[in-house]
Structure 1
Amino acid sequence: MRMPWYPWSLRSLANSRPSVGWLMDLCDENHVLMCRLAPGLRDFTGSHRSRLGDGMDLHLEVLEQTPYTTLVHLTYYFTREGARSRPDPDARLRVYHDCAQVEVLALRQHALPLEPLFEHPALDQKWKANLFLSKWLAYCLQQGHRFTSAPRQSLPDLSETG
């Protein structure tokens, strides 16, 4: 699998702030990756799980379907003995089918420090969140994760187990 290619260099990222154009390019790349991860996402409903033999299960839940967008929740659930499952990374994403973009609406994870709610300066925070998503989606694809349109059958809610 070819890793995503970005039109910006690491030097330009280090020496300047991201632009709206760069963010739009990144959201476009995220859409390409999401379409590879979940082909036919427009027709998905309910909860889905991509299970690998020896890897973590990747969970995708369709929260809302409209004619032009899909709202999804994407996460891994880490379980600890005697404790509740913990989602990480835990992302809420808006997939724009009409303009082929994916935007991070909310992202909780422990690898990258982000300000909550994309407060000022919002462009920098959105850039970091969407760049994290791009790397994560590419990693999931590299691992072999894929979702099909058939929802999983009444599996327990892992976020409430304990």
Structure 2
Amino acid sequence: MIIDKIENSQLYAGVSERIAKAFAYINSTDLLNTEVGKYEIDGENVFALVQEYNTKNLEDCKLESHFEHIDIQYVISGTENMGVSILSKQIPHTVNNEKDVAFYKNDSTLFELTEGMFAVFFPDDLHCPCIKNGENSKVKKLVVKIRI
């Protein structure tokens, strides 16, 4: 798991070629004016999902992990809390292999993700996005899915 500001993204580009492509896309795209939707970066190996939503109460959010993808979650505008935990002995209550997601009991530590910040989640990193920070608010976020 990595949590940082986008201006430090070059520090992580060496982790893999696909992660470097993801950060190049984030840094070269006018994301504030990009419409909600899916955007190919490197076919199905690296693609971006632009999302807009209102943050929710913690109990309405799901702690999740992925098997075949790394997530980079970048906040374009707004602020949200995100729950995080390291996968150890937790057992998922729901697994959807087709959608590459497993859900767990939400037992996580919260951190604040603000505009211009990103988090990178590897398969052993459980994450619970979209949590309100105080009041519900609108967030525009980019999620880049990177095939392992």
Task: Provide the TM-score with structure 2 as the length reference.
Answer: 0.30
Q: Which has the higher contact order (CA 8 A, sep 6+)?
A: 2
More helix by share: 1
More strand by share: 2
Task: Provide the TM-score with structure 1 as the length reference.
Answer: 0.28
User: Higher Cα Rg: structure 1 or 2?
Assistant: 1
